[in-house]
């Protein structure tokens, strides 16, 4: 697998984590108590990981081919 294809799949993983964070934040708003806090923290972790992945992909620059 070429470097370009690998970066594409990694960026898809980052986008999925960002969408998952969005869904978890909406879900935590509908819940109460400790479960809402746990889901909110999980959403925040997904947001941070997805953001770091996308940041890496964007700033790593273009690939050869």
| 63 confidence band (pLDDT: 50, 70, 90) | confident
For residues 31 and 58, what is the distance between their CA atoms, to the nearest angstrom? 35
> Which residues have a Cβ under 8 Å from the Cβ of 48 and sit 6 or more positions away?
none
Query: What predicted TM-score, i.e. pTM, was given to this entire model?
Result: 0.86
For residues 58 and 21, what is the distance between their CA atoms, to the nearest angstrom? 20
Domain residue spans in the chain? 3-59
| 4 confidence band (pLDDT: 50, 70, 90) | confident
Axis-axis angle for helices 3-30, 34-59 (nearest 10): 160
pLDDT at residue 20 tops 80: yes
**Per-chain mean pLDDT for the chain:** 93
pLDDT at residue 65 tops 70: no
Give CA 65 to chain center in angstroms. 26
Mean pLDDT, rounded, for 14-42:
95
């Amino acid at each position: 697998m070429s470097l370009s294809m690998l970066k594409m799949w990694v960026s898809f993983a980052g986008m999925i984590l960002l969408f998952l964070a969005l869904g978890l934040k909406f879900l935590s708003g509908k819940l109460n108590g400790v479960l809402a806090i746990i889901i909110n923290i999980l959403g925040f972790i997904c947001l941070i990981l997805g953001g770091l992945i996308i940041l890496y992909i964007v700033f790593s620059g273009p690939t050869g081919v």
